Structure 1
């Protein structure tokens, strides 16, 4: 790592033109209070507004501002990975542009980073989001802890800091469909936690659409667990057993009473259940096959259109 830079801060942005100057001011207000050298890496995740033009203005007046412009929207996790791949600090963290996570957490996390702890999570005590978002998040993290690993904070973490050792390990991963939370939680490095109250969003809009949340959900469990494909196998065994006993029951009734008349409703119900289970199973298998194909094609995870203040 570069001896001149103490900390690298990655900020992914997507159509955040109106707020990037304000975000920069808020971050800088915290950073200049500490006598450490830093770099702020803004990653434009394929914005279609004037976000990058605003960022260029910041980079021109402050060479500690590094810019990465991606050619298309790849998602915040991929944008963060792009930023971390150019980070040269002794440690690195990420913070969202909307400033829901207060910048004072940066040095609070850094204070916890040590020889014993290579990853520090900033864990939410609570969240001031919509009821639907809160329910979805609680369900997601409950399942993640049950299925993947208990190293994931139960309420999730929207901010983290990693040592240069973790950063080096992270940059060795070539997989495309990964989530950073799952990756850090399963790397094996010891983690520390700090807790904070997440503020209500005061600027910008959430870019986490329903489709992006669903993709994150699917990626998380398929990338780090064999439970989905194992579930398909168990479901097949379960319904095979039910089918065996149901068939035995029908044969027994037909032999004993000879008055069996199940009718079309029963037959249609059985067929619908069978088709439903089959399609669910095919869908799960298809997700694994698609990800295998996606990795096998060896296409770049992202394409960088422009770099500023980065050698």
Structure 2
């Protein structure tokens, strides 16, 4: 009797939970009758009534619902890892609390898992969002495909289905400042991808600010690619080559007696260009060094304030 753990990170989702919870329960009808369910909902340091809404949902289904309350906001991906650590299923799925990703896909993903795929992705072929949001998201995932993880599905994916083995690997690594979805792909297991159209958010307001999106891009890029460091080396070589050519040019002018270029503007332009390159290079190297320091300190990715496990005996009942 396989057990499916559905992990739902929650952050300021008090209005979503009363709708998302029943929809997930209703979606069980799309699965084979022998599947048992566990819902692991993680409150990522919300300051509204999200925790109260989660407790209300658990009271309705004490045999299926596990709640994890984190002491502070650590970000969606760290909250997902906290949910993975608390989950007990044979297979796992991650879905957002705002239902932008359709729960109906979970049954298809489960069918692929039964066929032997340990990782199933639901990639966004399109999305019901404003043009600027689509452009930013598509650019981010295009860059990740080009320079970090070639071959990942276009459009990105926030809905994944994976085996217990992958869950244990990710929890064991405890990787900080990364992207847990790309980390699942990085593990190297064969996967299948299901395209879908992402819905518009109908309830509540997204907490993905511009600064969080920039941090996610930097974290994802540095976690899976050495391209930034390699780019520094290439640009350094190009600048060095340009300086050598310019030096030869000045030498020829001196030997031939031709007038040499003069001017404060030219000197300052070159100085500012080189200085800017040096500062950018130091910043990129500093990002890598800081991540190394953060990993070496071995501080926890999250702190669990409260953990309310599902009733183990009741959760073993078949629907």
TM-score normalized with structure 2 length: 0.92
User: Structure 2 matches for 1:60-71, cutoff 5 A?
Assistant: 60-63=59-62, 64-71=64-71
Say if 2:8 and 2:97, in contact at 8 Å, map to a contact too: yes
Equivalence for 1:53: 52
Pick aligned residue for 1:24 from 18, 21, 26 = 21
Equivalence for 2:78: 78
Equivalence for 1:15: 12
Specify the SS of the correspondent of 2:143.
helix
Equivalence for 2:250: 250
Say if 1:7 and 1:37, in contact at 8 Å, map to a contact too: yes
Specify the SS of the correspondent of 1:278.
helix
Say if 1:45 and 1:69, in contact at 8 Å, map to a contact too: yes
User: Structure 2 matches for 1:252-267, cutoff 5 A?
Assistant: 252-267=252-267
Deviations 1:83-136 (A, max 9, x none): 011111111001101101111111111011145411000112211222222112
Equivalence for 1:161: 161
Which range moves more in the overlay, 80-89 or 251-260? Answer: 251-260
Say if 1:151 and 1:186, in contact at 8 Å, map to a contact too: no
Say if 1:59 and 1:309, in contact at 8 Å, map to a contact too: no
Say if 2:15 and 2:203, in contact at 8 Å, map to a contact too: no
Equivalence for 1:98: 98
Which range moves more in the overlay, 107-116 or 213-222? Answer: 107-116
Say if 1:91 and 1:162, in contact at 8 Å, map to a contact too: yes
Specify the SS of the correspondent of 1:197.
strand
Equivalence for 2:41: 42
Q: CA separation in 2, counterparts of 1:76 and 1:281?
A: 29
Specify the SS of the correspondent of 1:300.
coil
User: Structure 2 matches for 1:157-236, cutoff 5 A?
Assistant: 157-236=157-236
Displacement after TM superposition at 1:149 (Å):
2.1
Displacement after TM superposition at 1:218 (Å):
0.9
Equivalence for 2:279: 279
Report the RMSD for the aligned CA atoms in angstroms: 1.5
Q: CA separation in 2, counterparts of 1:199 and 1:175?
A: 30
Specify the SS of the correspondent of 2:198.
coil
Q: CA separation in 2, counterparts of 1:31 and 1:10?
A: 15
User: Structure 2 matches for 1:129-168, cutoff 5 A?
Assistant: 129-168=129-168
Q: CA separation in 1, counterparts of 2:253 and 2:58?
A: 81
Specify the SS of the correspondent of 1:46.
coil
Displacement after TM superposition at 1:78 (Å):
0.6
Aligned residue-pair number = 308
Q: CA separation in 2, counterparts of 1:160 and 1:308?
A: 24
Q: CA separation in 2, counterparts of 1:202 and 1:218?
A: 29
Specify the SS of the correspondent of 1:126.
strand
Specify the SS of the correspondent of 1:165.
helix
Displacement after TM superposition at 1:258 (Å):
4.8
Q: CA separation in 2, counterparts of 1:129 and 1:245?
A: 50
Specify the SS of the correspondent of 2:126.
coil
Equivalence for 1:120: 120
Q: CA separation in 2, counterparts of 1:201 and 1:106?
A: 19
Which range moves more in the overlay, 109-118 or 89-98? Answer: 109-118
Moved over 3 A (4+): none
* Structure 2 unpaired stretches of 5+: 313-319
Deviations 1:136-190 (A, max 9, x none): 2222122111212224111111201001121122222122112022211211100
TM-score normalized with structure 1 length: 0.95
